[in-house]
Amino acid sequence: MTDLLTALALMVALEGMLYALFPGGMQAMMRVAAAQPPATLRLAGLLAATVGVLLTWWIRG
């Protein structure tokens, strides 16, 4: 459980750094994402989740 909470905290920190360093770029990316159909966002989310799980499985062995 500690690993999960640590991973979530790191995710929040990294996302916060992106907003702090590139606010205009993040706004532009949000506009692009908002223009996408839900099916495209769903597929992108599923692919990202799958890659994340596979990377975690590979790293943790």
pTM of the model: 0.73
Closest to 48 (Cα-Cα) out of 23, 22, 18, 11: 11
C-alpha to C-alpha distance for 34 and 5, rounded to whole angstroms: 29
Note down the domain range covering 38: 2-60
Q: What residue type is assigned to position 12 of the chain?
A: V
The total of structural domains in the chain comes to 1
pLDDT tens profile 3-46? 889 999 999 999 999 999 999 999 999 999 999 999 999 999 99
pLDDT of residue 3: 87
